[in-house]
Structure 1
Amino acid sequence: MAVKTPLSRDSNPLSEEQALREHINRALATEPPRGLEEKLIYRFSKLWFRPELHNTDRLPDRPCLFIGNHALFGLDGFVILPVLLEEHGRFLRPMGDKFLFSQPGVAKTLMRRGATMGHPEVARALMAHDQDILVFPGGAHEAVKPSRERYQLQWKERLGFIRLAAEFGYTIVPFGLVGPDEFYEYLLDSEQIVKLLKQFGFWSDNMRPDAVPPLLRGALGTVMPRPQASYLSFGEPLELPSPGARAPSVQKLKAWRSTVAERIDTEIADMLLRREQSRHTLGLLRRIASV
């Protein structure tokens, strides 16, 4: 009997309807974390990553679907989630790849922080209950992209997030995030590791290339992320029409998707420029720790 692993293409914790219903019920019952742990995470993020938020006046006063560029290893969550919760009272529900929830212990930790599986039925349940949702359409592939593709969206032809937003008339808030892609230095990227695994016969067809992490080095050669300042900027929200009897065409969905991507790219470019203009403000210790 074949053993399923998190790297397997057919690893699917949602294979049973009951498991999906239980996951949705747990997700809807999750409250915003407000304890000491959340305070410590917030303080660490503020001290180590020094996040700057821009254009927060664009945040609508209603539940939204937040869409942005995915950072290396999904570390964007350590910047976005605690800061928005603590400073703006927004409890974003990040939707992650299903394989992340294949281990009960990991799944429990993720769900306690508000994360859910990236499944259409889960998204529908969250939208029906007026939740702020965070989605990275690039998924796991974007989270392990090679260094040459930093700050480039990896969406391919995916339309799922736009289709769901249109189904509920959800407002989409595009954002660009700069900084987390450089928390670590690449020693070997995922493509190079996959190539080596194939070369030495350790690769099988049921393994997922987008689930193979790169080999990295952090602050002063440790596993600690480098203290890179982070810059988060929100683009102009995309207001979708109220749901109608007729679903929008594929052409319309693609046009909306292109609009969201263009607004994200604009914010990324602005934040890259702002970072360059702010480099002189970095302290000596921060520069040393980033080596």
Structure 2
Amino acid sequence: MPATVAAAARPLLSGPKRQAAPRRRALPWWSASSASRGRGAPWPSSPSSSPLGGGGGGATVAARKGVREYVEAAREMVRRPDGGPARWFSPLECGGAGGRLPGAPTLLYLPGIDGVGLGLIKHHERLAKMFDMWCLHIPVEDRTSFEGLVEYVERSVKSESQRATDRPVYLVGESVGACIALAVAARNPNIDLVLILVNPGTSFHKSQLQSLSSFLDLIPEPFHLTTPLLLNFLTGNFMKMPSTTIGHGLSLQEAGQALSEITTSVLPSLTFLLDILPKESLSWKLKMLRTASSFVNSRLHAVKAQTLVLASGNDELLPSREEAERLRDTLEKCRIRNFRGNGHKILLEGEFDLATAIKGAGHYRRSRQKDFISDYLPPTPNELEKVIDHGRMLQYIANPVMLSTLPDGKIVRGLAGLPKQGPAVLVGYHMLMGFELEPLLTGVLSSTGINIRGLAHPFMFDKNKEQLMPEAFYDLHKIMGVVPVTAANFYKLLAEKHFVLLYPGGAREALHRKGEEYKLFWPEQSEFVRMASRFGATIIPFGVVGEDDICDILLDYNDLLKIPRYDILDNMLNENTKLRTDSTGEIKNQAIHPILVAPKIPGRFYFIFGKPIETRGREKELRDKRNAQHLYLHVKSEVESCMEYLKEKREEDPYRSILPRLLYQAVHGLNAEVPTFEP
């Protein structure tokens, strides 16, 4: 028996009171916890004060990473039909509070048309560290109406909201489960809910499923599962799902063997679909989905919950991408994320990671208000690799050189000069369009384990601006820990002893005009010295050059302003996102705008971190504005000196151009560190 199906489960109560409960045991799905009960009788409860339970059931088991485990676990759960009712269970991978973040919110998973409740099997262990997670199981023979399921989930939501009034309740719903989540949100606008809607079934009336439900009665069982639509859905998705078992870098022979194992072990298991989707059950669920879609679409105006829609570009059942856009335009607090290569069962496919999607969209929080510091979760190795992959082309073209300065003033290649502990403030020059960000953040994290937290323009966090830029532009930077640039966030980061990345020149520097490369646009007065000294933070000036080695500006902001009607786009980009409007001079103009560049034969990026400047022990001295201003000007001078040093020394680099670097790597291997000038 797959260990995953062992679970602690029970009905959820509608209020804060709960019956005395026996101690939770790790039991098979069909054993004493269910076999000994009568129809509709309570399941064993846990001793937790939560109506949902504080832990999970039983011992932790290995992560489930493929469709094979899903098939086996689902077969085990439905092989002894009991007719209902619907119930909650906590997977064993979610068992115990060990490793779970303090104050973790509750997550309720609402399954799609299969109803099994194991749709998150690939994500259980990861989500269990972030949430107190419970999954809804709807038995195959259960005929609870859509309204009945909504009421059942609603009671659970109310109970959890009353138990932890300061935390949100997460509802993760697939297709019909997404409709249940929306219905609960519409009926409870005053409860703090976060909805994660995966290919929502609200588009049923526009899908091919509507026509399928019309002639399903004419098809004899078991041939109802071989209709072209369902066959394409089932075989297409199940061939995609095991792709994670074929790792990157396998030889052709190894990949062929893995594919053969998939074919012989997974495809025959598709017969389990006859167990969870017999003709009568499928017909009932399609009718329920039609009802759910109509019910929810008439009530979307009442949904006030924070919402994230995850839409598959190759959804075989529903027009999910178009529906996501409709919901974004309809719901007050809705954001969308598109996954172009995925199908309807995205949660079981490929390398999709639900926790990463939630983090990247900025939808993880443990209190009523998002706290960018306390709610932040550092990137996992897989997430770091994803960020590195996103910038791999730039990394390959620019092949960054990183230098640092030891306390004695000696310049060395590598990052030995960076302090080992925070708080620290890295203050430097913002290269054109922020080209330096990904190499800087990933390079430092990979080499030293230091996770730098950047202070970013509010444009990065504006829902209405997301449509103007690629989603990865926003999400990957959030995964790496950028936060909106505010004094409060800067204070919190320093108080938590983080390494903070600060660009005093901001957007004006990153979106500079022609001929302004390597020119600093800093405010006249200090904005960070006294705050840094309050926490004894180390200030590290740094410089970076190389933007002029990879591109030339063709159109800058001055050119754009001469284009007729450009003011419309300018207003759209900068509405409610301008900074430093009370400043004077160049720094006041923090407008966000596009830049047109022409690529060049690629040169190289060069970073240097200057000699660390200690503020510890100088708190009293730096409270004086004049002393703080003097140190501020010294930091600015150090940044300028760093860039002058790099501009001079890169002339000595025999591998400054990409062609010598390619030749060097051809001889020594692609992973060889390419030499540079002597520091």
Tell whether the structures are fold-level matches, with TM greater than 0.5.
Answer: yes
Aligned to 2:512: 145
Partner of 2:20: none
Larger Rg: 2
- Residue pairs, 1:72-221, within 5 angstroms: 72-103=432-463, 108-180=475-547, 182-196=549-563, 202=568, 210-219=590-599
Q: Which residue among 597, 612, 623 is the counterpart of 1:237? A: 612
Query: Structure 2 vs 1, CA of residues 247 and 179 (structure 1 numbering), >3 Å: closer, same or farther?
Result: closer
Describe the shift of the 1:201–1:73 C-alpha distance in structure 2 as closer, same or farther (beyond 3 A): closer
Q: For the structure 1 residues 277 and 99, does the alpha-carbon distance in structure 2 shift closer, same or farther, using more than 3 Å as the test?
A: same
Unaligned runs of 5+ in 1: 1-18, 221-225
* C-alpha contact 1:184 1:216 (8 A) present in aligned 2: no
Match of 2:376 among 25, 29, 48: 29
Unaligned runs of 5+ in 2: 1-366, 405-414, 579-588, 663-679
- Assess, with a 3 A threshold, how the Cα gap between structure 1 residues 185 and 24 changes in structure 2: closer, same or farther: same
Aligned-partner Cα distance in 2 for 1:178–1:201: 32
| 8 Å CA contact retained: 1:50, 1:230 | yes
- Go from structure 1 to structure 2 and tell me whether the alpha carbon gap of 1:43 and 1:215 turns closer, same or farther (over 3 Å shift): closer
CA distance in 2, matches of 1:66, 1:20: 31
Alignment length, in residue pairs? 263
| Equivalent residue, structure 2, for 1:48 | 397
Residue 60 of structure 1 is matched in structure 2 by 419
CA contact (8 A) 2:554 2:598 kept: no
CA contact (8 A) 2:433 2:511 kept: yes
Post-superposition offset of 1:178: 0.6
Query: Given that residues 194 and 212 in structure 1 are in contact (C-alpha distance below 8 angstroms), is that contact kept between their aligned partners in structure 2?
Result: no
**2: CA distance, partners of 1:111 / 1:281:** 32
Change (3 A) 1:48 1:119: same
- With 92-101 and 34-43 compared, the bigger mean Cα shift is at 34-43
Q: Within the alignment, does 1:252 sit opposite 2:623 as a pair?
A: no
Match of 2:603 in 1: 228
Distance apart, 1:181 and its partner CA: 5.1
User: Deviation at 1:139?
Assistant: 0.5
Contact 1:42 1:86 in 2 (8 A): no
- Aligned partner of 1:13 in structure 2 is none
Q: Which residue of 2 aligns with 1:16?
A: none
Letter in 1 for 2:492: A
Partner Cα distance (2:448, 2:544) in 1: 17
**Cα RMSD between the aligned structures?**
3.2
Higher RCO structure, 1 or 2 (CA under 8 Å, sep 6+): 1
Give distance in 2, aligned partners of 1:272 and 1:187.
23
Deviation at 1:145, TM superposition (A): 0.9
Q: Deviations over 1:127-174 (max 9, x none)?
A: 111111101000111111113111111102242222321221211000
C-alpha distance in 2 between matches for 1:270 and 1:247:
29
Shift of 1:47: 1.8
Q: d(CA) in 2 for partners of 1:48 and 1:131? A: 31
Superposition TM-score, scaled by structure 1 size:
0.78
Closer/same/farther in 2, CA of residues 20 and 161 from structure 1, 3 Å limit: farther
Report the Cα distance in structure 1 between the residues aligned to 2:515 and 2:368, rounded to whole angstroms. 37
Cα distance, 1:48 vs. partner? 2.1
Identity of aligned residues (%): 24
Given that residues 603 and 657 in structure 2 are in contact (C-alpha distance below 8 angstroms), is that contact kept between their aligned partners in structure 1?
Answer: no
TM-score for both structures, normalised by structure 2 = 0.35
Distance change >3 Å, CA 240–CA 125, structure 1 → 2: same
Q: 1:133 to 1:210 in 2, by over 3 A?
A: same
